[in-house]
Structure 1
Amino acid sequence: MNEADALDILQAAIWTIIIASGPAVAAGMIVGVAIALIQALTQVQEMTLTFVPKILAIMITIGISAPFVGAQINLFTTLVFSRIESGF
C-alpha cells in the first residue's frame, strides 16, 4: 500500500461521511432557520423551542434516508474490501 492508495481510501471515507450525514444536517439546518425566523418575527426568544422540532425533523429524515445512507456505506465497505482482496 502506497500513499496514493491511502489517500484514495481516505478521500472515499470523507466523501462517504459527507454524503451519509448530509440529509440529517440539511434537515436540521432548514428547521433551525425556519424556527429562528419564526422566533424573530414573533419576538419569542425561548432557546429550548428549537430543540424538539429539530430532533423530530432529524429523526424523520434519518428514517426516510436510511436506505440511501446504508447503500453509501455498503459501497464504501465494498471498495475497501476489494482493495484488501486485490492486495492494494
Structure 2
Amino acid sequence: MTEAEIADIMRQFLWAGVWMGAPMIGAALIVGIVVGLFQALTSIQELTITFAPKLLVMLLVFWLSAGHMARMLSNLFDTVVLKAIAGT
C-alpha cells in the first residue's frame, strides 16, 4: 500500500466524518441562533438557557439520522476497508 492510497483512505474517512456530523452541527447552529435571538429580544442573559434546547434538538437529529450514518459507515467499510485488506 502506497502513501497515496493511505492518504486517499484517510480523505474518505474524514469526509465521511464530516457528512455524519454535519446534521447535528447544523441543528445546533440553528437552535443557537434562534435562542440567541430570543435572548436578545427579551433581554434574558442566562448563559445556560441554550444548553437544554441544543441538547434536545441534537439528540432528536441524531436519532433521526442514525440509520443514515450506519449505512454510510457500512458502505465505507465495504468499499474502502475490505478492499484495503484484500489488497485490491
Q: TM-score range by the shorter chain?
A: over 0.9
Within 5 Å, which residues of 2 pair with 1:1-88?
Answer: 1-78=1-78, 79-85=80-86, 87-88=87-88
Q: Higher relative contact order by CA 8 Å / sep ≥ 6: 1 or 2? A: 1
SS at structure 1 position matched to 2:45? coil
Q: Aligned partners of 2:9 and 2:26: how far apart in 1?
A: 25
- In structure 1, stretches of 5+ residues that fail to align are none
C-alpha distance after superposition, 1:7-53 (max 9, x if no partner):
11010010010011111111111101110010011110000100000
Unmatched 5+ stretches in structure 2:
none
Of all paired residues, the percent bearing the same amino acid is 33
TM-score (norm 1): 0.94
Structure 1 stretches of 4+ moved >4 Å: none
